Amino acid sequence: ALLHERFEECSGLSVVCGGCGEDVSVERTKDQQQLIDTCISCKAKLSQARLKNRLVLLVRNATQKYYAGWLACEDSGCSFRTRNQSILQDDFAPRCPSCCHGKLREEYSASALYKQLMYLKHLVKGVPELEVCLASFLTHNGYSQVELKPLFPLLSKPLHSTGLE
């Protein structure tokens, strides 16, 4: 249940079955040990090439959604959306220029993109071809990486100089 709650906002992976044309939702078994990659209707094994293509398309769509940069007012009564940052600020968040009391929030944040990638990583775990494909996208995502030099500038300098260098 915790895993389902953690990834509930993520888009699932689905593939059209080559055997019957049914749209099949790709999931893991109840014990999370294995990928279910067979069609429910005709019991045909889903094509690895189709799975890989759908995986790439899903990642690209999520990336495009992030880079579109849409901001939306968090006030439920205001439906204002924009891609422009407002210069009016409240608590480090741009204030909505339409209703003036709501804050503009990213519709699809960097953390949402990262969570989507982590869900897909969990989903394809154990399928080497799909893991390699997804790993190529994850290496370009810097959300989980922290550059420590700015946080600890003194640690990057030698403690003492011997003069022998």
**DSSP string for 49-71:** HHHHHHHHHHHHHHHHHHHH--E
Strand partners, 28: 35
Res 115: pLDDT: 92
In this model, does residue 61 exceed pLDDT 90? yes
Instruction: Give pLDDT tens digits for 95-128.
Output: 888 988 889 999 999 889 989 999 999 898 888 9
Q: Which pLDDT does position 94 carry in this prediction?
A: 87
Determine the average pLDDT of the residues in 8-30: 88
